[in-house]
Amino acid sequence: MHVIDSHTGGEPTRVILDGAPDLGSGPLAERARRLATEHEAFYRSVMLEPRGQPAMVGALLVAPVDPTCATGVIYFDVDAVLGMCGHGTIGLAVTLAHMGRIGVGRHRVETPAGVVTVELLDRNTVTVTNIESRRVRQSVAIDVPGYGEVTGDVAYGGNWFFIVDPSPIPVNPGNIPKLTDMTVAIREASIAQEVGGEEGEPIDHVIVQDASPDTLVHSRNFVLCPDDNYDRSPCGTGSSARLACLAADGRLTPGQEIVQESVIGSTYRLSYQPGRNGGVIPSITGQAFVMAESKLLFDESDPFRTGIKA
């Protein structure tokens, strides 16, 4: 299996070029469903240790339905197939440029959540124009065992987020274990109390926001992903959901740019324009760097061929 690894703000992406199961040629949402339900062993084997690493997201290249798109892509982590991935799309664009498949300029990419636009500004810098993002519920109080009542917004940016602002625990690298435990508890409570999307979609990510010591930075976040690892980047889909909340509250105007920082200090530049359906069209600019190009081997005699599941 030929793969290219990159990182976006410290968050790894593994682009899979070949060796994946045949998912057919239908809509990407249907192909993503097939990957999730019929090929879990495949995608988990690519992400799990010893072959993968915590927080890595896979990006499976597939043929797009829309012929104007440079590629189709299905994202996944060790625990779930994702609708969209912001850091992964930045990493994908830099990887496609590394392969010579795209150059500086604007390109369309088809995802299960819809078509997004990437603009390659240079070999490492990419602006992603995401799908329309929206806040679904404001100031929802949930009872979180061990933490009491926690209030947050439910928003969609390609994945489903529960966003807490301000964080009950300071967002800094020294608190990562505490932040992880708390956000896992928040997500479990949101699911148990049926707090989610309009159609009952469960929360898959949790964001807690805090101030940054850097006066040029709007805020710092900690983002819990479906696999219970934290996002090393500021999270592209999470930043999109956050923009929808800021816009809905009148705290950010169209075109106004802010800097969002992750818990480890990596940054995205964010802005938005109004969407057609009352939400926002997010713009996310970040940098990615290719780290490795390799072939993954799956030896039948390897006892950990499908990954370490402990």
Indicate which residues carry an active-site annotation.
Answer: 85, 235
Residue-level length of the chain: 310
Q: Give dist(CA 175, CA 182) in Å, integer.
A: 10
Helices and strands in the chain: count of H runs, count of E runs: 5, 16
Residue 116's identity, in one-letter code, is V
- The answer to whether 277 touches 252, Cβ cutoff 8 Å, is no
Q: Give dist(CA 180, CA 162) in Å, integer.
A: 14
Distance, C-alpha 132 to centroid of its chain: 15
Distances, alpha carbon 6 to alpha carbons 3, 14, 100, in Å: 10, 7, 16
- The answer to whether 140 touches 195, Cβ cutoff 8 Å, is yes
